[in-house]
Amino acid sequence: MRERRNGMKQRAVGLLLAASLALGLCACSPGAPAGSAGPGNGARPLAVETTLEPLTSEDDAQLWMNPDRGYRIDSWCDLYEMSLIKDPGKVMTERLLAQELPEGMPRVCQTYIYLSGFNDRDISEKGLEALDAVFQAHLDLGLRMQPRFLYPKTRDDPVNDAPQDVILRHIGQLEPVLRKWSHAVQFFPVCFVGVWGEWYGEKYPPDRRLIAQTVMEKLVMPNHLYALMRLPRYKNLLEGTPYYERIGIENDSVFGKLPALVSYGTGGLDEGTAQWDQLVQEAAYTPQEGELFMQYWFDSNHVRLDNQQVLIQLSEHRFTTLSAIHSYVDAGAGDETNIGQWKSVPVTEGWLRDNGIQYDPAWFLNRKGETVPRHLFEFIRDHLGYKLTAQNLRVTGEGKPASTAEVEMSLINYGFAAAFNLQSGFAILDEDNRLVSTVDSGSPETWYNRNPEQYADSRNLTHTLKAAVRLPDQPGRYKLAFYLKNTAGQYARLSNRLDVVNDPADPTVKQAEGTPTPTGFHILHVFDL
C-alpha cells in the first residue's frame, strides 16, 4: 500500500510542478481577426493574447450533451431472450427511448446484460449477434455504455448464478466483442459475480482475484478502458499488478458523508474507515461513479439523507457519473424523492467555500453580472465529472502560408473529476468550417480540479496546452479551433462563450438529437494568410 501511494504521490508532485510552471493562455474572439491582414496585403505576424469569456447561469444546457459525465440512466437486456427475437436492436432502442430522462440530457447508460440463460453453456452465436445490436442501439442514441454483465436477476435468484469455469469461458467469448465495441464503452464494471454483479450472494463462490484479473487482462487493458469495482477492498485484490491504476470504484450505496447513517449495504465504505480514506487518496486518478438506493428502500425504512452531505461525498470522492434512476426517476422524479429534494436545497458560494468545494464564480452569475440563486440538483448536474473553462489564449507566428504558429491555451477544471476518455487538441478549419489539419495537445485524464493527492488542498489547478500548429499552404481565411472528443467521436464543449461549429465534410461529426448547440470545434481565432 505504501509503495503504491508513494508512486502516486511522485506522479502528483510532477503534475503540480508542471501546473505551477504553466504559462497563461489566450482565448480569441471568433469575430474579426486580430493582427491579420486581408489577402494580398502582405503577411502580418500572428500576435494574439486574450482572455476567454466563461458561460454564465443561462447557459447550463450548452454543456448537457458533454459525453462521459453527469447523471446517468439505467437499462437492461436478457441476452438469451434477445437471441431468440428477430430484431434485438429495435427492442433495445425502444427500451432506451421509453426511459423517463432526467434534466441534463444523460449521455451515459449503465446497462445490465443478463447472461443467466447461458449459465451452463457458451453464449450462442445468436446471443453474440444480439450483443452487437445492443451496443449499436446505445450509440445510435448518443449514449455510451457501462455494460454490466451478470447472472442472477434478484437477490432471491441464486439458481441463475454461474460457476467459475462458465464465467471464464464467457469472458473469453466477450473478448472480440469488446475489441469491436470499445468505443461504445464509457467505463467497464468488473461484475460477473453475485447479485446484480455486486460481488455478494453468489451461489458458486469464485476465485475473486482470478475473475478480476481475467476481466482486466482480456476486456479492459487491451481496449484502453477504465474499470469499475464495487469496493476498494475488491480493487486491493489486484494491488501490485499493472491493472490497479486503471480501476475506479462504483459505489452502489451512496449515503453522503455521514458516519453510521445506516449499516446496510455499504460494504464497509463508510466515513472514517480505511476504505473511505483510500478512496479520498486515490479517487483523482481513475473514474468514480455510483448510485443511491431505490426510493422505496428509503421510504420503507424511514431514512432521509442530509442532501448537502451527499454533495460533499461526491466532491471528496470525485464522482464522474451518478445514477438519476435511483431515488429519482424510479419514483416518478417528484419533489418528494431524495434527488428531487435537491431542487429545493440552495447552494451558495459561501457554503461551497466553507466546505472546500470548487466552483466557477460565473456559474452563479447571469450575463448582466448579477448573482442568481442556484440549487443542489443543478450544482451536482453541472459538476459531475469535468467542467472545463478556458482562461487565456496566446498565438504567435509569422502569419505566412506553410509557416508554424505557436499556440498556448490554459484552462481550469471546476468539475469533481478529470476528463477521462477524452482527447484534446487544436485544429485549423477553412472559411467554410472544413477541417484542414489537427494536432493533439493536452492530457484530459490529468486535468484534475485540485491537488490529486491532497483533497484538502482546494486551490484550483491551471492546465496548459501547447502546440506548434502548421499553417495551410494556400492563402485564404482560416480559423484556429480547439476540440475535445471521446473515442466514439462525441465532442465536448468548453464552458466558454465561443462559437462551436461542425466540419460539414465529416459524417462522424453530427449534431445529436436534442443538442441545444452545435458540437465540434471551438473557434478561438480567425485569421488571414
- Tell me: the pLDDT tens digits for 352-362? 999 999 999 99
Which DSSP category does 75 fall into?
A: E
Element (H, E) at 139: helix 125-140
Which residue's entry shows cell 447523471? 71
Helices (H) and strands (E) in the chain, counts: 13, 19
Give yes or no: residues 28 and 83 share one domain. Answer: no
The pTM for the full model equals 0.89
Query: Could you tell me if residue 325 is inside a domain?
Result: yes
Return d(Cα 119, Cα 116) in angstroms, integer.
5
Give yes or no: residues 169 and 227 share one domain. Answer: yes
Give yes or no: residues 117 and 155 share one domain. Answer: yes
Closest CA to 224 of 426, 490, 423: 423
The pLDDT confidence band at residue 17, using thresholds 50, 70 and 90, is: very low
Give yes or no: residues 341 and 394 share one domain. Answer: no
The least confident of 89-98, 157-166, 304-313 is: 157-166
| Tens digits of residue pLDDT in 275-328 | 999 999 999 999 999 999 999 999 998 888 889 999 999 999 999 999 999 999
Which DSSP category does 54 fall into?
A: B
Give yes or no: residues 189 and 133 share one domain. Answer: yes
Return d(Cα 75, Cα 143) in angstroms, integer.
11
Which residue did the predictor score with more confidence, 265 or 32?
265
Query: Could you tell me if residue 79 is inside a domain?
Result: yes
Return d(Cα 495, Cα 405) in angstroms, integer.
25
| Tens digits of residue pLDDT in 125-140 | 999 999 999 999 999 9
Query: Could you tell me if residue 367 is inside a domain?
Result: no
Give yes or no: residues 181 and 89 share one domain. Answer: yes
Query: Could you tell me if residue 377 is inside a domain?
Result: no
Give yes or no: residues 434 and 298 share one domain. Answer: no
The least confident of 21-25, 91-95, 456-460 is: 21-25
pLDDT confidence of residue 158: 58
Instruction: Select from 295, 327, 345 the last residue of a domain.
Output: 345
Instruction: Select from 345, 367, 396 the last residue of a domain.
Output: 345
Return d(Cα 164, Cα 233) in angstroms, integer.
21
Give yes or no: residues 50 and 79 share one domain. Answer: no
For residue 465, is pLDDT > 70?
Answer: yes
Give yes or no: residues 484 and 506 share one domain. Answer: yes
Give yes or no: residues 304 and 447 share one domain. Answer: no
Give the mean pLDDT of 131-159.
89
Query: Could you tell me if residue 381 is inside a domain?
Result: no
CATH code of the domain covering residue 273: 3.20.20
Give the mean pLDDT of 193-215.
90
> Which residue range(s) make up the domain with 509?
2-58+386-528
Give yes or no: residues 79 and 201 share one domain. Answer: yes
* Cα–Cα distances in angstroms (integers) from residue 387 to residues 60, 379, 380, 412, in the given order: 11, 11, 11, 8
Residues in CB range of 324: below 8 A, 6 or more apart: 71, 72, 73, 102, 104, 106, 339
CATH code of the domain covering residue 429: 2.60.40.10
Mean pLDDT of the chain: 88
| Tens digits of residue pLDDT in 488-513 | 999 999 999 999 998 776 665 555 55
Query: Could you tell me if residue 354 is inside a domain?
Result: no
The pLDDT confidence band at residue 259, using thresholds 50, 70 and 90, is: low
Which DSSP category does 164 fall into?
A: H
Give yes or no: residues 109 and 197 share one domain. Answer: yes
Query: Could you tell me if residue 363 is inside a domain?
Result: no
Domains contained in the chain, number: 2
Closest CA to 416 of 258, 196, 302, 248: 248
Contact, 76 vs 114, CB < 8 A?
yes
Instruction: Select from 318, 345, 372 the last residue of a domain.
Output: 345
Query: Could you tell me if residue 497 is inside a domain?
Result: yes
